Copies of this chain bind each other. A is one copy, B any other.
Amino acid sequence: MKELDPLLHSQLRLAIVSILMSAVEADFVYLKEQTQATAGNLSVQIDKLREADYIAVEKTFEGKKPRTVCRMTDTGRRAFEDYVQTVKLYLHL
């Protein structure tokens, strides 16, 4: 049985990537709202995805407020598609 990429096989990281796969980009606040995660947890998981180069993270300022914007990288997109194919085997789809 093919292994499920452990970086994506995590409730929260999968949710983050799922959102990013169907949007051009999403910022920290939006991801937090959608996933209902705590800020700390979200921060950690975003960082893991960034370290693996699955997502790109850009820290800017919107006026005086900081804004952390995330988007998928090509590596991340490939990893996601791979994960989808593998999970389908497990789910008999």
Give chain A's interface residues, CB within 8 Å of chain B: 1, 3-4, 6, 9, 11, 14-15, 18, 21-22, 34-36, 84, 87-93
Say what secondary structure dominates the interface of chain A.
helix
Smallest beta-carbon distance A9→chain B, Å:
6
- Return 20 A-B CB contacts under 8 Å, by A number: A1-B15, A1-B18, A1-B35, A1-B36, A3-B11, A4-B14, A6-B11, A9-B11, A14-B90, A15-B90, A18-B90, A18-B92, A21-B92, A22-B92, A84-B91, A84-B93, A87-B87, A87-B91, A88-B93, A93-B93
Query: Which one of A4, A89, A91, A92 has the greatest number of beta carbons of chain B within 10 Å?
Result: A91
